[in-house]
Copies of this chain bind each other. A is one copy, B any other.
Amino acid sequence: MANVRPVCSSGFAVLIVCLLYLPLNGPAQETKTLSVMPLPAHAIQGKGEFFIDGTFGIVLKGYTEPRLERARQRFLDTLSRETGIPLWREAAVNQPHFTIHTAGPSLPIQQLGEDESYRLIISPTDVQLTAANPLGVMHGLQTFLQLVRVTPKGFTVPVVSIDDTSRFPWRGLLIDAGHRFVRLPVIKRNLDGMEAVKLNVFHWRFADDLGFHIESKRFPLLQEKASGGFYYSQSEVKEIVAYARDRGIRVVPEFDMPCHTGSWFPGYPDLGSAKDPSRSRAIDPTRESTYKSLSGLIEEMTTLFPDAYFHTGGDECDFHEWESNPRIQQYMRTHGIKDGAALQALFTARIQKIVSDHKRIMMGWDEVLQPGTPKDVVIQSWRGPKSLADAARNGNRGVLSSGYYIDLNQSAAEHYLVDPLGDPSAATLTPEQKARVLGGEATMWTDIVSDENLDNRIWPRTAAIAERLWSPKEIQDVDSMYQRLAVVSSKLECYGLRHRLITEEMLERMTGDSNPVALKILADVVQPPKLYERQELRTFTDFTPLNRLDDAVPPESETAREFDGIAKRIASGKATSEDWQQAQQWLVLWRDNDAKLQPLLTRSFLTQDLAPVSRDLSQVAEIGLQALDDLKESRLVSADVRQRNIEFVKSSERPQAVLLLMVAPSVEKLVQATRTQ
């Protein structure tokens, strides 16, 4: 970030282009060097910088409203944090060199597809931000904040002309407060993070089999019997809805039904399918009284959530409960319902009618899409882009979540390259059908995540998903994404998120040591296993303490990713001298770390099982150093030794202590690159 030079650093022709703000080739090239996420649709960089100092002032022109005033004050607060200059107070009285022009209001209830575009023009002397409505203004302010950097002369933003608009209108983050209650400050700071990367839908899920975490006044036994006292009061819900609106974010509530509803029955056993309400997990879809209750609940909840969409879940029904209930079986036979899926379809149709009666549009997971499903129902796909393309062809709109499951510890690159329109069959959609693919949602399931490490799972990787949903389709350069992600990650911490910090705090707690250097070195190169393997290696309930290393480390090891790049370059003969030096330094660090770490690991019950991981890291590094030396000297190695080393490294790639040693595959590449005698 520091020592930023103007992009147009050489060449007369280029310089002219920049000064005139003429466009360069494509969006990806134009904007490559702007360290922002998501990258703007169009940006043309100029020469010079705009300085931010104690004289900074900002003014609202055109349409204004209290929300814009608050956005301005929040902007000043954040800019103050970014610079250490107390602008939150000063800028009120300074001469404004930053002018916001707002043409008019946005809708009283934020709607899908409202204009979110903005134009941000930064010259060396002033800044002009123009937008049709407050939504665009808020996005433009976030872009400006991300551009702030420190230079030899002061805090600056580069001279640039940005014309920005979103590719998809539905850019969401699901936070599952059903498995684990997520406290209000955590929700709030994640809404701040969403605002920073221009996400505009907060999908808030409230209940699952073990917890019901929102207050119902009509059905108070829901929260009273199944929240342990921890639920969102209705006034807190309203507070969050207002907080989100202030940030250009819609709030879509989810009440998952008819399954994942075990928590509903301790209070209202008649709703359940099993005789023993404590065992029931599914709503009984065969009783009229069920629909009367659900209509009451949905009606009550629509008073809290003004958004046009209302999510009723519908995923992963286990039909065994219905099939083992004689009364439900009888009903199915009487009404000619052939199986559980057909029964769920009838249930869905009833619920859709209720939701519609309460002036909302139903949204549900893949399963709710059946031949008769009304066309206005929005499908959220956990199955993949193909099912989304099929729905679009069929006339239903949809939102992609498959590929954006950020609880599964995949890499940012994996998520980044998933496109809601990325299925081959999407290519054959008409423009009208394509428009039914509304966007996507990152999903933060909380089966094995807590308030504490939630940020660490959501950020920074969700910024890559946000870019996929906002920026032009062509922007796909993974290296550029990772470079910018590192910058945005720091910004997000400055804005109040705790994704990096929490790892340090958890390592401190694990060891009782205020600076556990040796454990940090190990933590830096391990990751929890991806997808659902973690659950196979460790038993988790919704109440398991999440205080071990697999909970503490980020889902993606940055160091391992960088080391892998170096290892690949070395193995393919393309390495620079810095690559060789860096590889050597890291391998020595890892080799020698075990001797320091082992005695410390014995001191805490939370670190004892890390002993073999640390030992493996040391041995793998030793093998890596040998391979490095062999490659450097072009030495031929014994086939036997080489084979044994490969086998050892491979064996170290299996999970231990619910962790993967992420540098092992890179060392394997180095050994593979050596040649035998």
Contact = CB atoms under 8 A, between A and B. Distances in A.
Nearest to A73: B229
A513 B489 CA distance: 11
A86 B182 CA distance: 12
B547 A83 contact: yes
A494 interface: yes
A611 to B, nearest CB: 12
A270 B510 CA distance: 62
Interface residues of A, number: 55
Contact of A509 (B54, B83, B546, B608): B83
Contacts of A86: 180, 450, 543, 545
A217 interface: no
Copies in the assembly, this chain: 2
Contact of A545 (B54, B546, B606): B54
A134 B92 CA distance: 45
A502 to B, nearest CB: 11
A89 interface: yes
B152 A602 contact: yes
A90 interface: yes
A512 B606 contact: no
A514 B486 contact: yes
A229 B89 contact: yes
A452 interface: yes
A584 interface: no
B2 A603 contact: yes
A430 interface: no
Contacts of A150: 509-512, 603-606
B605 A546 contact: no
Contacts of A622: none
A93 B227 CA distance: 12
B3 A228 contact: no
A151 B603 contact: yes
B512 A605 contact: no
A151 B605 contact: yes
Interface in A507-526: 508-514
B603 A3 contact: yes
Given A54-B543, A83-B547, A152-B602, A92 B509 contact: no
Contacts of A90: 228, 543
A528 to B, nearest CB: 16
Contact of A92 (B153, B229, B500, B551): B229
A84 B2 contact: no
A159 to B, nearest CB: 18
Interface in A601-623: 602-606, 608
27 contacts: A2-B511, A2-B513, A2-B603, A3-B604, A54-B543, A83-B545, A84-B450, A84-B506, A84-B546, A84-B547, A85-B545, A86-B543, A89-B228, A89-B543, A92-B228, A93-B228, A150-B511, A150-B606, A151-B605, A152-B603, A152-B605, A152-B608, A153-B605, A154-B605, A486-B514, A490-B508, A490-B514
